[in-house]
Structure 1
């Protein structure tokens, strides 16, 4: 499988699977939660409240591991392992870019002072379980 094919498959999975797990480190141990992700190229974005455990954890260690795509059909399901460095953004431009009506459950709008966007810059992305159970690493 070529690098372009791997990248296309990863982008397809990211486009069709918005909810995944995001892991951080809490007291030296992994801590995971479900998050909703949006992408621009291979950069992921997710919205959170400024006053959350994940923000505290990311202040201590800005790295994360994200899983997106597994559909529960069994061995061979495709998914993406995404490792990256998180940057916290209060940028009005990024807030407007990420904003969608689903976020109204938690925030009053893109100008809500508690809204924080987590921008996840990829350091390693792998396509997993493409029927032959091999890891396919995308060269970044």
Structure 2
């Protein structure tokens, strides 16, 4: 599979699967939660509250591991294995761009001071399958 084919498959998985798991470190142990992700090419974004545990965890260790795209249909499903470095993006334009009505139970509006955007800069991105003999395919960054 060519590098362009791998990248296209990864981008398609990111486009079609917004929910994935995001792991951080809490008390020197892994801490994983489901998150909704937005993407721009291979950069990921996630909305969250600045009052969550993950903010303290990211301040202590800004690295994350994300799994996204698994359809749950069984063995052989493709998914994205994503390692990245997290920062808080303070762009008001980005907050408005990513805002959806589905966020209203947690935030008053895109101007809510607790509403922040996590930005994940990719360090390693791999296309994974669960098929025997099919090795992970790394995206060249």
One fold, TM greater than 0.5? yes
**Partner Cα separation in structure 2 for residue 26 and residue 135 of structure 1:** 28
5+ unaligned residues in a row in structure 2: which ranges? none
Q: TM-score with structure 1 length normalisation? A: 0.96
RMSD: 1.1
The answer as to whether partners of 1:68 and 1:79 remain within 8 angstroms in 2 is yes
Q: TM-score with structure 2 length normalisation? A: 0.95
Q: CA deviation at 1:29?
A: 0.7
Alignment of 1:30-109 (within 5 A): 30-109=30-109
- Where in structure 1 do 4 or more consecutive aligned residues deviate above 4 Å? none
**Partner Cα separation in structure 2 for residue 50 and residue 112 of structure 1:** 10
5+ unaligned residues in a row in structure 1: which ranges? none
User: What do residues 61-95 of structure 1 show as CA deviations (whole Å, max 9, x unaligned)?
Assistant: 00000000111122211000011000112220111
* Aligned residue in 2 for 1:120: 120
Is 1:133 aligned to residue 134 of structure 2?
Answer: yes
Of stretches 94-103 and 15-24 in structure 1, the one that deviates more from structure 2 is 94-103
The answer as to whether partners of 1:24 and 1:64 remain within 8 angstroms in 2 is yes
Query: Alignment length, in residue pairs?
Result: 140
